[in-house]
Amino acid sequence: MPTSRTGRPPVQRAARRPALARTPHDNPAGRFVTRARRAWDRPLTAYYLILGGSLLITVLGLVMVYSASQITALQLSLPGSYFFRKQFLAAVIGGVLMLVASRMPVKLHRALAYPMLAGAVFLMALVQVPGIGVEINGNQNWISLGGSFQIQPSEFGKLALVLWGADLLARKQDKRLLTQWKHMLVPLVPAAFMLLGLIMLGGDMGTAIILTAILFGLLWLAGAPTRLFVGVLSVALAIGFILIKTSPNRMSRLACIGATEPGPHDTCWQAVHGIYALASGGFFGSGLGASVEKWGQLPEAHTDFIFAITGEELGLAGTLSVLALFAALGYAGIRVAGRTEAPFVRYAAGGVTTWITAQAVINVGAVLGLLPIAGVPLPLFSYGGSALLPTMFAVGLLIAFARDDPAARAALAMRQPRFGRKRAAVRGSAGAAGPRRWNTMRRRASAARSSGER
């Protein structure tokens, strides 16, 4: 055996193991993606996205309404917080409606479908009665409630169409009637056209576009064939073209798409100053309350064009945050509609998601100069109690549907024990500090026992 120079036997070195190829999940980026996917696929993801996203949009909207409406209120010889206080009151009432809707069972939601549709039709017809209907900005779609409070029944017509259309299609699917085109169209399309006619009598084409989007969303979820879908869409486009062509006001709005100058007679004044507000905001904005365009330059700064004031004061970061919240809310609604087996839940969740997403896209597109100004508010964000109340009730619907999922219901039961049980468990334990986790585990273990075990 050979020896070393010191007389000691040489050290036997272990053979090197071949290096193992790293999988994509071994690097930090792969682990992050894996964890993100696991968190995204959890049962309560949609529930938290809907609840958190809607509340954040509403709170940020209150802040921007206060900032954007102060100058307008002072110009009308009103207190600076006038519009904010009305919006805050509507948000409180809407929060109660959202809580009630999130706790109502699905059967009760379906029972409200027909009364809500009848009430919406009655109020929308009442708008056209002289002396009752109120005209604002050329559109007669309002009813005065006394004082400074007014209501726009067409906003509740959106919620009524979603609930009634979802209940109608769910009943027909249970009877396997949706394979026939006449059952898919009748009476859904005639009822929707009746609502559209009542809205157009007042001249509000923006709300009519949102209602049309809800109708097409319900038809798409019901599995309407391509020919039927294209046929209904063609009729709607033809009617819309006639209504736009015969109205100089609508034609002027169409001509302001992409405008960079106010044009003759300042026909594109609002569209151009919305772009000015966004351009002057930069990446991080001029600061909350430091907008220049709200000083009489930009009309409807706290309603239809509040997104422009957000871009001027909070910059690109603020506008992208708002868009991200709407994207999260839309994704959560699609997830709720896609993972349920109940037809009514699928149609109602899809209808609400179509409503909020389409209205947000139309409002933001008009502010960016990509779409004509339709006069629709940004959901949950712009000033207007008539738009906020039914929208928050619709968000409560999504929360109820997300909670109704069996996996989400089980996860909520494990994570959020009842306060009374938790308090009783703490009182009945020997120590005051440590037994909370033990009581929780005991509760889980007792729940897993069979009915005959003691």
pLDDT for the residue numbered 441: 34
Which 3 state secondary structure label does DSSP give 202? coil
Out of 52-61, 237-246, 286-295, 374-383, pick the least confident.
Answer: 237-246
**Is residue 50 scored above 50 in pLDDT?**
yes
Out of 121-125, 239-243, 268-272, 400-404, pick the least confident.
Answer: 239-243
pLDDT for the residue numbered 19: 53
**Is residue 426 scored above 50 in pLDDT?**
no
Which 3 state secondary structure label does DSSP give 139? strand
Mean pLDDT computed over 209-238: 89
Which 3 state secondary structure label does DSSP give 134? strand
Q: Which two tokens stand for residue 239?
A: 């009617």
**Is residue 449 scored above 80 in pLDDT?**
no
pLDDT for the residue numbered 12: 58
**Is residue 317 scored above 70 in pLDDT?**
yes
Task: For residue range 127-145, list pLDDT tens digits in order.
Answer: 988 888 888 877 788 898 8
Distance in angstroms (rounded) separating the CA atoms of residues 230 and 227: 5
pLDDT for the residue numbered 454: 32
Q: What is the pTM of this model?
A: 0.84
Which 3 state secondary structure label does DSSP give 288? coil
Mean pLDDT computed over 223-245: 85
Q: Which two tokens stand for residue 256?
A: 């302001």
Per-residue pLDDT band for 49 (boundaries 50, 70, 90) equals very high
Per-residue pLDDT band for 439 (boundaries 50, 70, 90) equals very low
Q: How much of the chain is in helix, strand and coil states, percent to nearest 5?
A: 65, 5, 30
Mean pLDDT computed over 162-172: 96
Which 3 state secondary structure label does DSSP give 137? coil
pLDDT for the residue numbered 290: 92
pLDDT for the residue numbered 247: 84
**Is residue 440 scored above 70 in pLDDT?**
no
Residue 258's φ and ψ, nearest 5 degrees, are 75, 15
Question: Considering the chain, what is the average pLDDT of its residues?
Answer: 85
pLDDT for the residue numbered 114: 95
Task: For residue range 332-344, list pLDDT tens digits in order.
Answer: 999 999 989 999 9
More confident residue, 25 or 295: 295
pLDDT for the residue numbered 25: 53
Angle at which helix 188-201 crosses helix 205-221, to 10 degrees, equals 170
**Is residue 241 scored above 90 in pLDDT?**
no
Q: Which long-range contacts (CB under 8 A, 24 or more apart) does 121-126 make?
A: 121/157, 121/160, 121/194, 121/195, 121/198, 123/151, 123/153, 123/156, 124/153, 124/154, 124/157, 124/195, 124/198, 124/199, 125/198, 126/153
pLDDT for the residue numbered 233: 83
More confident residue, 302 or 42: 302
